[in-house]
């Protein structure tokens, strides 16, 4: 009889441990998701759009480069690299390539690989003046 009560006690503790691990995993997953999608800043950048591409090995992302306004020479400091949020924004960017544009973006802490190669995610684009 004592062996049976030990088995029942062990099963009860194992069940509690499994529920506790599941709850911990869910809380960790939610926290990790919030961290990876947390917006540090948002704003706009204006310049000449000179490169738009769809690239990636596993995750195909939409990437672009903007020569920032006010700089006459193209160098590493005057080029802003960004990722487009979705295919609609990418299509708009393709139509505006080579023109002055204003990009509305969110800067993420550490984006997921399928969100883009950069931490700057453009969600809206307008033709500049």
- Tens of pLDDT, residue by residue over 57-90, are 888 899 999 988 666 666 667 888 999 988 899 9
49 close to 96: Cβ distance less than 8 angstroms: yes
Q: What angle do CA 63, 69, 73 make, to 5 degrees?
A: 90
Q: What is the pLDDT of residue 72?
A: 61
Q: Break the chain into its structural domains and give their ranges.
A: 1-36, 40-127
Convert the pLDDT of each residue in 22-47 to its tens digit. 999 999 999 998 888 888 999 999 98
The pTM is what? 0.75
Q: Does domain 40-127 have CATH number 2.40.50?
A: yes
């Amino acid at each position: 009889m004592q062996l049976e009560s030990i088995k029942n006690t062990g099963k009860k503790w194992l069940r509690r441990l499994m529920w506790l691990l599941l709850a911990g995993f869910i809380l960790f997953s939610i926290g990790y998701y919030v961290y990876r999608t947390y917006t540090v800043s948002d704003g706009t950048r204006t310049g000449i759009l000179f490169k738009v591409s769809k690239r990636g090995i596993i995750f195909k992302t939409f990437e672009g480069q903007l020569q920032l306004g006010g700089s006459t020479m193209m160098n590493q400091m005057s080029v802003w690299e960004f990722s487009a949020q979705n295919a609609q924004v990418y299509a708009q960017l393709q139509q505006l390539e080579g023109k002055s544009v204003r990009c509305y973006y969110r800067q993420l802490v550490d984006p997921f690989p399928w969100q883009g190669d950069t931490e700057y995610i453009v969600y809206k684009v307008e033709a500049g003046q």
